[in-house]
Structure 1
Amino acid sequence: MNKRLVWLLAIGLGIAACSSERNTFTNRAFHNLTSHYNAYYLADVKIKEVEAENQANYKEDYTQILPVFIPYDSSVIQGSKEKLESARELSSKAIDWHRISKWVDDSYYLIGKIDYLQSQSDDAQNAFKYVNVTSKDDDLRHQTLVNLLRLYVDLGEFEDANFTIDYLSKESNINDQNRYDLYRTLAYYYEKRSDRNGVIGALDKATEYAQDKKEESRINFILAQRYQREGLDALAYDYYNKAQEGNPPYERSFFAQLYAQQVAELNASKDLRKVRNYYESLYDDPKNKDLKDVVIYERALFEEKQGDIDLTVDLLHQAAKEPGSNPRLKGYIYQKLADLNYEKFKDYRATKYYLDSALTFIKETDPIAIQIAQQKETLDSYVFHVERIQENDSLLILSGLSKDEQVAIATDFIKKEEERLLAEAKAKEKPKSTGIFDNLLAFADRGTGSNFYFDNAVAMQQGTIDFYRTWGNRPLADNWRRSSSSISSSLPPTEEEVTDSTATEENNPLNQLPDVETLLGQIPESPEQKATLNEELEESYFELGKLLYFELDETELSIDNLESLVRNYPESTRKPEAYYLLYLGQKDLGGNFQQYITRLNREYPESQYTYSVNNPEAASGNLAYIESSKNYEQAYDLYYLGNYKGSRQIIQKTLEEYPLTRNTERLLILDIMVSGKIESRERFRNRLESFIENSKDEQLVELARNMLKPLLSQEELAALDPNQASELDSANLNQNVSDSVSIANNPIDSPYKLDNGQTHIMVLAMSLEESKNADGLVGDLDTFHARNFSNARLRTGNMNMNQENAIYIISPFSNAEKAKEYYKKFMEDFESSSLSEEVKEKAFFITLENFQILNKSKNIEEYLAFFRANYR
């Protein structure tokens, strides 16, 4: 009876202790024990397992600076969903079932961590903030705030991150583990903000509190990489050596040793031999069989530092062929080859194709891939136009040859392609073995470089070609040389023959070769085909000339292409701009630029490019739009009254005084209409055709076409528009004149036109007093350009706009996109004691045509309104 009472009493006490409501010592002890070692402990273990799996799944790319934190892989997190949900359930039980235990806040922290891993940012923030507010455990609060800081950095919420950093900096008694996590997270913060010194400083402090030797090794490796990038080789060398301590993974130790050679002090040729021998030993080490490409790549970079570019290129080609465990490295190898071809050899075509190869090994979402894709845009355009010029030019030359000459050239081409295939097959052959065991083979000459036919790729290739020449492309079959084979070939092939034939055809290298008929079929014969090729050539010469001048700093090549344009296509509508680019190019080279000023004035006196070259200091001129509008109205009124000479006098005077306004083309079309009244029919027609060719105002061009149609013969009109050949009479001309007046009198909100494809300039406007105090501005701008736009060939000058204002001009930018890129960088990074913030805030960019309007109107605020509405 007594024993039974004791057991009943014990059970009763146990049940009472299980209650989560009663806050007694016994209850607290029970719930603390249970929640810690059941729910919390198991949940924590599951989370750590997921983190360990993420780390194990991550492939470190030691060829690039390692990230501070190993990023979380969404596929790993998604694959561990069941484990994380189990951890969430356990944490929730620790909260719901053990509310009076001291592990409730810790369990909330785990829930926040699970939310963070699953990218549920809002829920994670709420959980972390709740723990920080409610927990009395300083270590837990600090741990939570460090995780909250990392979350803010992930989201780019740097103001909240700064507040958290400031708060933690005032906290005392932060334990070593939390300090270690805090400094690593600070390094991550600086990494995201591209603060190199901040990253180094934070990681250096983190090493003081690191408890895991492998983690400390990784941090030392990152510090070594960063010191090396800053050019502090001595420090980098020390940290690479430190990175080899603490039993790091083999690959990290390998790269630490490898990179240490790059930053070691080399004083004599003996040291150079020592480093080269070191690379050789690494290459030959069996443990490095998956890292051979890395060894050769690093050897290439080493030889580049020694100035041997040819050897560097050879080594990079070898590295590209070596097997390796990191596919991205192949991308870096091709990127390096692209850089060398761009910078050292100026081979833009090779650069483009190397960058194409690099992108096949690097993920599209990788920042480096995005950078390469942007770099490739110009080169893609360059190669497209270069190859189109080569192809079209060759086809047009071939079209002028006789049939026999064309056949001879096609045959020679096929022969050279056969030789190329043989060379490729030979290159694929393995080198002949010199081992003693080769002599023990059944056939002594059947080694890896054997002359035995079926082991010799070159012999096989040559045999296939000889067979093709003699017998044609026959399927594999018995008795293939018999004359009866032609009869049997007319019968349906058996299944075996089809299979054998298909296999043979797939492996036949001659399938890559076109026949003579196919090649001849590409040569244009009709006038329409030739005209299409010439139109493409005209476009490519112009676009290539512009690209070479503005993007690639190849002025001489630009001039060559633009001269080809104006020489081969004298009727091109692109000639005025081509002349202007030739003028700029020859001026840069100190050549005869005056000839293009003369050509523009003679051939295109009314072009905006002519105004630009005639007034180089002021970038051409134009008085206020309002004044030219008044004169236009007077000229039109005189025209309407029949006073054509008076109308022309006002038109010409206006064009002389205000050569480039929004009214310019309206004045020109009105002057042409005067020609229709007082000059010959031929003169009227010629002026209309010239206007149609050179004007950019689509409405006025359409108007000019309509005025031109009554002047055309039935044949000419039918060629333009067969449906309208019989619909026009002299009444149309009067209606078209009325249309011109209607167009001319349309209200216009702004005198400026938006043209993103036109050449732009950057303008800094200031008072004359500010200009006098800006002595150092040009020098600061040149320094800024050298640091950020070294290949852009930007020029800086200044001029007075009027008695109150002066302007500084930075030019040229080939289009609006380039100008925007410069403007953004300028507003963010440019600093000068010679430039006030007020002037900087009013900086703008503008097309040459719009600048001509602005330079005469002097109304900067009017243009700023246009600029802000269209560009910002």
Structure 2
Amino acid sequence: MRFSKRLFSISLFLLVACSSERDTFTNRAFHNLTSHYNAYYLADVKIQEVLDENQQNYKEDYTQILPVFIPLDSGVIQSSKEKLESARELASKAIEWHRISKWVDDSYFLLGKIDYMQANFDDAKNALKYVNVESKDADLRHQVLIALLRLYVDLGEIENANFTIDYLSKEEKISDENRYDLYRTLAYYYEKRNDQNGVIGSLDRAIEYAKNNKEASRIYFILAQRYQREGLDNLAYDFYRKALEGNPPYERAFYSQLFAQQVAELNASKDLRKVRNYYESLYDDPKNKELKDVVVYERALFEEKQGDLPLTVDLLHQAAKEPGSNPRLKGYIYQKLAEIHLEEYVDYRATKYYLDSALTFIKPTDPAASSIASQKEVLDQFVFHVERIQSNDSLVRLSGMSEEEQRLIAEQFIQREEERLLAEARAKEEPKNSGIFDNLLAFADRGTGSSFYFDNAVAMQQGAIEFRRVWGTRPLQDNWRRSAATFQSTPETEIEEKVDSTAISEENNPLAQLPDLESLLAQIPKTEEDIAQLNDELEESYFELGKLQYFDLEEIEASVDNLETVVREYPSSSRKPEAYYLLYLAQKDLNGNFQQYVSRLNREYPESQYTFSVNNPDAASGNLAYLASSENYEQAYNLYYAGNWRQARTIIQQTLEEYPLTRNTERLLLLDIMVTGKIESKDRFRSRLESYIENSQDESLVHLARNMLKPLLTAEELAALNPVDSTALDSAAQAMAMEDSTVVKPDLTDSPFKVNDSQTHIMVLVMSPELAEESQSLIGDLENFHAKTFSNSRLRTGNMNMNQENAIFIISPFNNADKAKEYYDIFMEKFESDNLTEQIKENSFFISIENFQTLNRSKNIEEYRAFFKATYQ
């Protein structure tokens, strides 16, 4: 009976305590206990398990500066979906079943964490903001604000991040654990903004509050890397040594010791020998089997500092062949080889091929990949044209020789290739020395001294070459030497190739690359059409190579040589006017005789756009010139169709003189030719059309010019032309009118402004400083407008002087371009103020923060307005 009473009392207590509504001491104690150690605890454990798995799966790339935070791997998050959903369910239960518990806010924080990990950023933001507003636990609010700061940084919401940092900087009694997370998150903020000093300063503070020795070791390593990049070797050395404390992972300890050698003070030759011996010992250590490429690579960088460039290159080649656990390192090795061959040897071809190799190992998402790809783009073109010139030039010269001379040259080429293969085989057979860095490319086989034939690669290769020279390429079959071989019943396609296990495989046999005589002779052009095709390609490559060397590679003298070749060897080339113009620019840079090209252009191509340009060297250019020429073109065009041909010509000539080289130049020239057809003789009209067709690069305009020319030709001349659609002069002009009836939108490729719709935007009103001084109540009108129309947007207004001519009123912030566009449309429709004229309102615009920084430097408001109209209106 006594036991039954106790059981009944306990059951009654639990039943009463289970209520999630009654706010009594007993009820709160029960819900605090169960929510904390059941739902909340289990949810937190599951989240931490996923984060631990993400960290274990992450492969640190110690050759690059480590990131402040280990990034979340979407693959890990996806594979842990069930675990995270279970954590979400548990956290939700802690909220729903234990509403009076003090762990409700903490459970919302867990929900925000889960949403952040699953990239549900809006939901994460809402959950974190809710906890910050509702929670009375200062410690939890600090955790939430730090998590929000990281989220704002991820989303690029820098203004919100700045508000959060400012708020936290004024908070007191932040716990040591939260301060550690705060300073790491601040370092992450500065890392995203490429602020080296900010990252170092924040991590220096974070290390003061670090409790976990392994985390402290990682921060010390990052600080050492960043101090090394800043050239502060003494500090870097100290931090690399500190990174060895706290029992770090073996790989981090290995790199800490390795990099410490790079920044150690080395004064005497004895120190240099010590470092080299250290690299030797690391290489020989069996524990570093998967890090041999790192050891050799770092030794290469060390030798580069000592000024031994040939040894550096040899070591980099060896590093590329060594085994390793980080494939990206191979990409960095090839990138380093490319850098050396570009900067030290100025070898563009080798640089291009090393960059090709680098991109096979570096992922497209790697920051280095985009810079390599952009650098390689120019080099790809350079190598293509250089190799095409070499190949085509040789083939054209060979085509002018007799068959006997061609055969002799081909045989000599094959013989040189054989000698090269033999030399490579001998180099591979040189015995390997005991020092790993003494003979970097040697093979570890028995060498040339072996008496057994199949152990001697040089003898095998020599025999294979001799066999091929005497017998040619033969299928692997029995009795191949007998004259009766032709009567064998098995067709060649069905012969089973049998390769002795000791024979050289075709894959590894360098002879597979050796061409035969007939295939070489077959490449020599035989017909006039083939030779003409090769010459056309040569003309193009000499010209394009000259342009690349002038504009991209800054090899001005080499550019002059190639462009002079175009002018000299291809006198009827349609590229000749532009070649003259480039030679004019190049000779000006070299302080040479550039006037000769001005004379040639005026004499040979008096109506070329390049002639207009050299005659007006101070004329405007760029995007603004294009916009101005577009407006003038439309005006002249309308005058032409109104019959005011001489007025149209005046505007055309003025535009060509003021803006001689824009994307409108060829249109203006053709329009001027159309005026010629109206007011000058037919012969003059025909002459100008023929010249335009020969020299214009715009195929659509050339097509129009051909249609204009057709009515002026005889029947015989028409028959000689390639068939094109027959159109009379005015119908061709009408086609042109349809194409250009509206003002052409500017091409924004040359604009300093960039489209970035996801960035924070601001709205800008521009007026004179005097008017701005008189319109101080405009801010009040704007704030009233915002209170009525955008009450939840937290918009702010302000004003500043941009320069002596312009003052601006700013409305901010808008999260992205869509939000700014929405505000702009409503503002244009509904906002009214006595202090704002219609003209100022019509000239208002919105702009991203990045573009505003560019505008603030250039002060060129009209240039941005043109960009704004082309992009958003």
TM-score, normalisation: structure 1: 0.77
CA contact (8 A) 1:224 1:237 kept: yes
Give the counterpart letter for 2:579 in structure 1: A
- 2:53 aligns with 53
SS of residue paired to 2:363: coil
CA distance in 2, matches of 1:18, 1:634: 90
Cα shift readout 1:37-59 (whole Å, capped 9, x = no counterpart):
23222222222121111111111
Residues 381/843 of structure 1: CA separation in 2 closer, same or farther (3 Å cut):
farther
Going from structure 1 to structure 2, the CA distance change for 1:431 and 1:30 (only over 3 Å counts) comes to: farther
1:366 has 2:366 as partner: yes
Summarize deviations over 1:156-192 as a string: whole Å, max 9, x none: 1222222222222222211100110011001101111
Q: Which residue of 2 aligns with 1:595?
A: 596
**Corresponding residue for 1:320?**
320
The equivalent residue for 2:577 is: 576
Specify whether residues 310 and 468 from structure 1 end up closer, same or farther in structure 2 by C-alpha distance, changes over 3 A only: closer
Change (3 A) 1:450 1:707: same
CA contact (8 A) 1:432 1:450 kept: no
CA contact (8 A) 1:549 1:558 kept: yes
Partner of 2:35: 35
Q: In the alignment, which residue of structure 2 is the partner of 1:536?
A: 537
Distance in 1 (CA, whole Å) between partners of 2:336 and 2:305 is 13
> Mapping of 1:629-644 within 5 angstroms?
none
Structure 2 partner of 1:441: none
* Other-structure match for 1:277: 277
Q: Partner residue of 1:182?
A: 182
Q: Tell me which of 859, 862, 870 is aligned to 1:840.
A: 859
Match of 1:24 in 2: 24
| Cα displacement string for residues 602-625 of structure 1 (whole angstroms, at most 9, x for unaligned residues) | 101122222222233446999995
**Do 2:609 and 2:656's aligned partners in 1 also have CA atoms closer than 8 Å?**
no
Would the alpha carbon gap of residues 747 and 559 (structure 1) be closer, same or farther in structure 2, given more than 3 Å must change?
Answer: closer
Measure, in 2, the Cα distance between the counterparts of 1:346 and 1:549.
15
8 Å contact kept, 2:217–2:245: yes
Larger mean Cα displacement after TM superposition, 659-668 or 472-481: 659-668
Q: In 1, Cα distance between the equivalents of 2:172 and 2:213?
A: 26
CA distance in 2, matches of 1:745, 1:447: 78
Counterpart-to-counterpart distance in 2, 1:169 and 1:745: 64
Matched residue, 1:227? 227
The percentage of counterpart residues that share the same residue type is 67
Question: CA–CA distance in 1 between the matches of 2:95 and 2:865?
Answer: 60
1:686/1:93 CA distance change after superposition, 3 Å? closer
Q: Mean alpha-carbon deviation: is it higher for 284-293 or for 507-516?
A: 507-516
**AA matched with 1:287:** K
Per the alignment, residue 778 of structure 1 pairs with: none
Q: CA RMSD in A?
A: 4.1
Superposition pairs of residues 417-566 of structure 1, within 5 angstroms: 417-426=417-426, 431=431, 450-488=450-488, 490=490, 509-566=510-567
Partner amino acid, structure 2, of 1:184 = R
Q: Please give the secondary structure, in 2, of the residue aligned with 1:579.
A: helix
Match of 1:139 in 2: 139
Match of 1:125 in 2: 125
Q: Which residue of 2 aligns with 1:213?
A: 213
Q: 1:254 maps to which residue?
A: 254
* Kept after mapping to 2: 8 A contact 1:432/1:448: no
> What is the CA–CA distance in structure 1 between the aligned matches of 2:159 and 2:634, rounded to whole Å?
52
Change (3 A) 1:455 1:626: closer
2:407 corresponds in structure 1 to 407
Would the aligned equivalents of 1:628 and 1:658 in 2 still touch at CA under 8 Å? Answer: no
Equivalents in 1 of 2:52, 2:90: separation in Å?
20
Q: What 5-or-longer segments of structure 1 have no aligned partner?
A: 436-444, 639-646, 761-803, 805-823, 831-835, 845-863
SS in 2 for 1:360: helix
Tell me the equivalent position of 1:641.
Answer: none
Could you give the per-residue CA deviations for residues 205-251 of structure 1, whole angstroms, max 9, x where no partner exists? 10111111111111111111111212222222221222122121222
Aligned to 2:808: none
C-alpha distance in 2, partners of 1:24/1:866? Answer: 68
Q: SS where residue 721 of structure 1 aligns? A: coil
1:242 correspondence with 2:246: no
Cα distance change, pair 722–213 in 1 and its aligned pair in 2 (3 A)? closer
Q: Give, as a single letter, the amino acid of the residue that structure 2 aligns with 1:147.
A: A
- Tell me if the contact between 1:21 and 1:100 (Cα under 8 Å) persists in the aligned partners: yes
Shift of 1:61: 0.9
Q: Is the 8 A contact 2:448 2:457 kept in 1?
A: no
CA offset at residue 746 of structure 1?
Answer: 9.3
Deviations 1:608-650 (A, max 9, x none): 2222222334469999959995998799789xxxxxxxx9x99
Q: Which moved more, 1:289-298 or 1:277-286?
A: 277-286
3-state SS of paired residue (1:20) = coil
Change (3 A) 1:495 1:21: farther
Contact 2:395 2:524 in 1 (8 A): yes
CA distance in 2, matches of 1:351, 1:31: 69
Residue matched to 1:851: none
The structure-2 alpha-carbon separation of the partners of 1:98 and 1:723, relative to structure 1 and needing over 3 Å to count, comes to: closer
Shift of the alpha carbon at 1:7? Answer: 3.0
Q: Deviations over 1:703-729 (max 9, x none)?
A: 6534644665655432313689xx9xx
Write the letter of the residue equivalent to 1:248.
Answer: P
617-626 or 410-419: bigger deviation: 617-626
Distance 1:700 1:171, change over 3 A: closer
Shift of 1:523: 2.3
Cα offset, 1:666, TM superposition: 3.8
1:335 maps to what in 2?
A: 335
Look up the equivalent residue of 1:187 and give its one-letter code.
A
Residue 12 of structure 1 is matched in structure 2 by 12
1:145-160 to 2 correspondences below 5 Å: 145-160=145-160
Question: What is the TM-score normalised by the length of structure 2?
Answer: 0.77
User: SS of the counterpart of 1:207?
Assistant: helix
Unpaired segments ≥5 residues, structure 2: 436-444, 660-666, 753-804, 806-847
Amino acid of the residue matched to residue 615 of structure 1? N
1:505-524 superposed Cα distances (whole Å, 9 cap, x missing partner)? 66665443333333333222
**Residues 278-317 of structure 1: matches in 2 within 5 Å?**
278-317=278-317
Of 165-174 and 193-202, more deviation after overlay is shown by 165-174
Counterpart amino acid of residue 192 in structure 1: K
Change (3 A) 1:829 1:663: closer
Distance 1:741 1:100 in 2: 82
Deviations 1:653-686 (A, max 9, x none): 9969985687654444544676645xxx6x7754
Residues 109 and 127 of structure 1 are in contact (CA less than 8 Å); yes or no, is this contact kept in structure 2? yes
Q: Which moved more, 1:408-417 or 1:193-202?
A: 408-417
Report the residue type matching 1:266 in the other structure: L
After superposing the two structures, state which structure 1 stretch, 370-379 or 664-673, moved more.
664-673
